[in-house]
Amino acid sequence: MNSAGALVPAYLCFSVLGYLVFRKRWKVKDSGSSKRRIKFTTTPGSSYPYNFFSLAEIKAATKNFNDAFIIGAGGFGNVYKGCIDGGATPVAIKWLKPESSQGVHELETEIEMLSQLRHRHLVSLFGYCTDKGEMILVYDYMAQGTLRDHLYHTNNPPLPWEQRLQICIGAARGLQYLHSGAKGTIIHRDVKSTNILLDDKWVAKVSDFGLSKGTTNMSKTHISTIVKGSFGYLDPEYYRRQRLTEKSDVYSFGVVLCEVLCARPALIHTEKTELHQVNLAEWTKSCHQNGELDQIIDASLRGKIAAECLNIFAEVASSCMHDDGTKRPSMNDVVRGLELALDLQRNTEGNIKCTEKIGETETSSSEQSSTANNSIVCISGTIFSEVTNPSGR
């Protein structure tokens, strides 16, 4: 065969190869088309330990994204209740809006985080769908909805105080795991009552990790980053300095504790004007300092909280929202403080007259008075040792 004949097969081979490379690159660049295609690293053959769903399966589970199945909404899109396995397994399906460019990064962060985390008090990711350029996450279904659904702006009956304490403890344990139980430190960055979900047994689970930041460098005291979060829950120190630490989560959780106690939103619109808002965190701290918690406590709880328990709970919440982040407790200490509050509530029910005003405890014996005083000394001196001996963040 002459040299010219030998070049023909080689030329054809390179032509086909060039076409395939061009076609692959064109598909990636096609993301600017009218139906935006999302470039995402997760595929059916990825190493993530989750189920991969086709878009057809997702549409079947939600009756083609029927509005009647919407159970939540956010800046990224909607959350639907769906059923898979022939209707046997209920799930929650988060569908990213096609125009949400920020949501792509946040959902990638969420799937990356949840692939590394396993804890009783963190929401579980069931699977995902990236079929036909979509970005969809599938979670275990939380039958009781969000914590906020049971506090205010709702037709649900008010939760008993002991149940509220148990929910707070569960959520605190979830954050405790993120801060100190996982590999490195993970900062949630968007702790709020709508991101605390409740399953059918009322077990609290922290959710929505799209804004989370993680570091394996435990020697770092902070992460310098653009401020993100939700108004009313945002750590003022983080907002001013743009330095993120786990204590920013602690501040936000303190606001959640205020919501639980007061059954009011983090930002309260006054009756005078919708433009004027009252910050629940500042209002609660002021009332606590002045011994006036009775002014804002949930009316359904009045006369039902043991005063010692209320003292401890208020101390925990106020300490979480300290202006100086280094003087806020760790989530380990928050868990211990809330557990103490629960123990006091259980141990004193029926023995101590519950009061509507903090500091007005009436005991039937000097022994009960001594127990209450010792409890407050414990919470101030031991559990919140960081207040007097602040450690670096």
Q: Are residues 380 and 306 in the same domain?
A: yes
Q: Is residue 177 part of a domain?
A: yes
Based on the domain organization, do 383 and 327 belong to the same domain?
yes
Binding residues for ATP: 94
CATH number of the domain that 76 lies in?
3.30.200.20
Q: What is the pLDDT of residues 290-302, one digit of tens each?
A: 999 988 999 999 9
Helices (H), ranges, 149-216: 161-176
Q: Are 64 and 154 found together in one domain?
A: no
Residue 289 within a domain: yes
Partnered with residue 224 across adjacent β-strands are 243
- 3-state SS, residue 260: helix
Q: How far apart are alpha carbons 176 and 171 in whole angstroms?
A: 9
The active-site residue out of 131, 140, 149, 190 is: 190
Same structural domain, 159 and 123: no
Based on its alpha-carbon atoms, the radius of gyration of the chain, rounded to whole angstroms, reads 26
Question: Could you tell me if 219 and 368 lie in one domain?
Answer: yes
Residues 121 and 189 in one domain: no
Q: What Å distances lie between residue 203 and 54, 198, 212, 221, CA to CA?
A: 30, 5, 22, 32
Total number of domains in the chain:
2
Residue 376: closest CA among 301, 299, 306, 302: 306
The DSSP code for 180 is I
Residue 35 lies in a domain: no
Predicted pLDDT at 202:
98
Do 345 and 215 belong together in one domain? yes
Q: For residues 237 and 336, state if they share a domain.
A: yes
Element (H, E) at 269: strand 267-269
Q: Name the pLDDT band for 229 (thresholds 50, 70, 90).
A: low
CA distance linking residue 194 with residue 191, whole number of Å:
8
Q: What are the pLDDT digits (tens) for 198-222? A: 999 999 999 988 888 887 554 445 5
* Helix (H) or strand (E) segment spanning residue 70: strand 70-74
Assign 365 a pLDDT band (cuts: 50, 70, 90).
very low
Are 223 and 191 members of one domain? Answer: yes
Summarize the confidence of residues 182-187 as an average pLDDT.
84
- Evaluate whether residue 28 is within a structural domain: no
How many other β-carbons are positioned within 10 Å of the β-carbon of residue 354?
A: 22
Residue 8 CB neighbours (<10 A): 10
The pLDDT score that the predictor gives to residue 228 is: 66
Mean pLDDT along residues 310-336: 97
* DSSP one-letter string for 366-380: HHHHHHHHHHHHHII
Position 32 scores a pLDDT of: 35
Strand, coil or helix: what is 125?
strand
Q: 350 and 359 in contact (C-beta within 8 Å)?
A: no
Q: What is the pLDDT of residue 226?
A: 60
382: pLDDT strictly greater than 50: no
- What does the block give as tokens for 96? 């990213």
- Amino acid code (one letter) for 290: N
Tokens 């043991």 -> residue: 306
113 & 183 share domain = no
**Mean pLDDT across the stretch 180-202?**
92
- Domain edge (last residue) among 140, 159, 188: 140
**Residue 190 appears among annotated catalytic residues:** yes
Given pLDDT bands bounded at 50, 70 and 90, which one contains residue 249?
very high
Q: Which of 5-19, 102-116, 260-274 has the lowest mean pLDDT?
A: 5-19
- Model confidence pLDDT, tens digit, residues 30-80: 333 333 334 444 445 455 567 889 999 999 999 999 999 999 887 678 999
Residues 117-170 have pLDDT tens digits of: 889 999 999 998 988 888 899 999 999 999 999 999 999 999 999 999 999 999
Residue 316's pLDDT band, with cuts at 50, 70 and 90, is: very high
Mean pLDDT of 103-129: 84
Residues 154 and 136 in one domain: no
pLDDT of residue 274: 58
Task: Pick the last residue of a domain from 83, 115, 140.
Answer: 140
Among the residue ranges 79-88, 180-189, 212-221, 335-344, the one predicted with the least confidence is 212-221
> Is 230 within a domain?
yes
Q: Bigger pLDDT: 11 or 62?
A: 62
| Residue 18 domain flag | no
Q: Indicate the residue among 118, 140, 162 that finishes a domain.
A: 140
pLDDT confidence of residue 282? 94
Q: Residue 78 sits in which domain range?
A: 51-140
The binding site comprises: 94
Q: Tell me, yes or no, whether 393 lies in a domain.
A: no
Same domain, 207 and 291: yes
Q: What CATH number did the domain enclosing 294 receive?
A: 1.10.510.10
